[in-house]
Amino acid sequence: MRPLQTAQPTAHLVCGFIGAGKTTFAREIEAETGAIRITKDEWVVRIFGRGIASDAEFEDYDSRVTELATELAFKLLEAGVDVILDEGYWTRDHRDSIKEKVASAGAKPVLYWVDCPVELMRERTVKRSSGPSTDSFEIDEEMFDRYLRYWEPPTAAETFVRVDASAGSRG
């Protein structure tokens, strides 16, 4: 399917924590809309590998790839092409910032929260890490719990589309 070019392109912003099913959902949007999907974790894994040596190393890789992916997304939006940013958007500040930037670029931001119970996300993540696919990281339970303290789920004060990912095989 060819990417859809529109007068006001849409940026589908996929928010959620590790193991919620963000990428699975982003792929569904991609199949339904023809929007260009940008999943930064796939980029990081392809460039740097699946094993994360340290938090500092991961933060460096993640920030560099996020910057590049976001630049590409905005070039596509400026060209009138719909995009899917599968990034996580773990904090309210990050979500507010990206929505503001998208709107300032003349595009329509749509935030999706892929909602899933923490225990199920942990279970999915640990299971996935025992034999990770080519596009996911190795994340153990300790790492999952360490990252969890940075996660700020969307609140009622935010505008989003809630996606219930508590059933099925999302991961």
Q: What is the dihedral of CA 121, 122, 123, 125, to 10 degrees?
A: 80
Give the three-state DSSP class for 102. helix
CATH code assigned to 23-164: 3.40.50.300
- Structure confidence at residue 169 (pLDDT): 45
Domain residue extents for the chain: 23-164
CB 84 within 8 A of CB 37: yes
pLDDT, tens digit, for every residue of 92-137? 999 999 999 999 999 999 999 999 999 999 999 988 777 656 566 6
Range scoring the smallest mean pLDDT among 44-48, 76-80, 151-155: 44-48
pLDDT, tens digit, for every residue of 29-72? 999 999 999 998 888 888 877 666 666 777 888 888 899 999 99
Q: Which pTM value belongs to this model?
A: 0.88
